[in-house]
């Protein structure tokens, strides 16, 4: 989770610092903070193979602590206004499949749940997180879905057949993302306000994955930096293969889109239709909030 203006380069926002940065003091607190931690999930048992990750419940504790620090700086009323007016981006969920349900064959969660039931369980737990975020004062929250999980170079290399997208992970994304949109609709109805915005990052990414040349990429199968088939194994390290021009690769490493690919995603954040940003895009949010 991060409390920040999303797509800051496009809207001229000052970058936010990690919450635990020693530089995040004084007036810099008023810019916002980044609470994100790689490898976490909605569920507490997601990412058990990683050490020192900051799970969601702890991120919320930091968010509360952050508000206390801001209150000491500008007082409770102005802090409430600052938090209510902040744009919050929460990106979580994909690891609950990649690093939990499908982490190993016959994982604990896959033995406990069928995939459709697991998706429902994850969504029900996500509802609790988003409700807690609202309780902490969030009033503008961008909630991203998962990308095309089976189509990243890592999954093509490890699970795909002949370099195709891994069908099981694609099915997980196809089940999860529509239910996340419905969750956003339900919560907005419950609160009587368009607080949460569902961000269809899956479709945003699949556009350039399925037709890379239309976006100026030569490939969406092979990562720029990596090892093994499709450069999809391991991490990007000094020992990895490195492409000569990252701008023509849709993926930087086995899991993450390249900087140029992220630019296309950000553009949809800003101006995308309700097919990508429901119920509104970021430009509309900014226009509405500027009037209040």
* Ranges under pLDDT 70 in the chain: 1-13, 292
Element (DSSP H or E) covering residue 48: none
pLDDT of residue 292: 65
Beta pairing partners, 142:
89, 197
Around 17, how many Cα atoms within 13 Å sit in the side-chain half-sphere?
14
Residue showing tokens 């029900």? 124
pLDDT of residue 51: 83
Q: At how many degrees (to 10) do helices 56-74 and 76-85 cross?
A: 130
Sheet holding 196-199, edge to edge: 33-34, 2-3, 88-90, 141-144, 196-199, 277-278
pLDDT of residue 291: 75
Express each pLDDT in 54-76 by its tens digit. 999 999 999 999 999 999 999 99
pLDDT of residue 11: 53
Residue 191: helix, strand or coil by DSSP? helix
Q: C-alpha angle with apex 208: 207 to 213, nearest 5 degrees?
A: 125
d(CA 202, CA 180): 12
Express each pLDDT in 104-149 by its tens digit. 999 999 999 999 999 999 999 999 999 999 999 999 999 999 999 9
Distance of CA 52 to the CA centre of its chain: 20
Q: Where are the beta strands (DSSP E) in the chain?
A: 2-3, 33-34, 88-90, 141-144, 196-199, 219-223, 225-226, 241-242, 249-251, 277-278
Q: Is the N-terminal amide bond of 279 cis, ω within 30° of 0?
A: yes
Q: Considering only CA atoms, which of 199, 198, 146, 144 is closest in space to residue 169?
A: 146
223 contacts: CB under 8 Å, gap ≥ 6: 153, 230, 231, 232, 236, 249, 251, 252, 253, 254
Q: Where are the beta strands (DSSP E) in 186-284?
A: 196-199, 219-223, 225-226, 241-242, 249-251, 277-278
Q: Which pair of tokens denotes residue 172?
A: 């997980």
pLDDT of residue 50: 87
Tell me the pairing of strands 88-90 and 2-3: antiparallel
């Amino acid at each position: 989770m991060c409390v920040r203006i999303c797509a800051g380069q496009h809207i001229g926002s000052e970058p936010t610092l990690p919450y635990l940065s020693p530089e995040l003091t004084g007036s810099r607190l008023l810019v916002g903070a980044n609470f994100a931690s790689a490898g976490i999930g909605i569920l507490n048992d997601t990412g058990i193979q990683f050490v020192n990750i900051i799970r969601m419940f702890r991120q919320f504790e930091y968010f509360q602590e952050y508000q206390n620090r801001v209150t000491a700086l500008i007082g409770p009323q102005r802090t409430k206004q600052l938090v209510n007016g902040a744009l919050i981006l929460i990106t979580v969920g994909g690891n609950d499949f990649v690093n939990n349900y499908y982490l190993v064959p016959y994982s604990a969660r896959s033995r406990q749940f069928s995939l459709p039931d697991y998706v429902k369980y994850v969504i029900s737990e996500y509802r609790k997180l988003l409700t807690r975020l609202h309780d902490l004062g969030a009033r503008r929250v961008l909630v991203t879905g998962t990308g095309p999980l089976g189509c990243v170079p890592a999954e093509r290399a490890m699970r795909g057949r002949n370099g195709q997208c891994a069908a099981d992970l694609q099915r997980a994304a196809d089940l999860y993302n529509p239910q996340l949109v419905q969750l956003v609709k339900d919560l907005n109805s419950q609160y009587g306000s368009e607080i949460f915005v569902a961000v269809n990052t899956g479709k945003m990414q699949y556009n350039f994955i399925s037709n890379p040349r239309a976006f100026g990429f030569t490939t969406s199968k092979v990562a720029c930096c990596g090892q093994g088939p499709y450069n999809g194994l391991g991490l990007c390290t000094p020992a990895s293969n490195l492409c000569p021009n990252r701008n023509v690769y849709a993926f930087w490493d086995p899991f993450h889109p390249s900087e140029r690919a992220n630019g296309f995603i950000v553009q949809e954040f800003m101006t995308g239709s309700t097919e990508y940003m429901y119920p509104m895009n970021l430009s509309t949010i900014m226009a509405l909030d500027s009037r209040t």
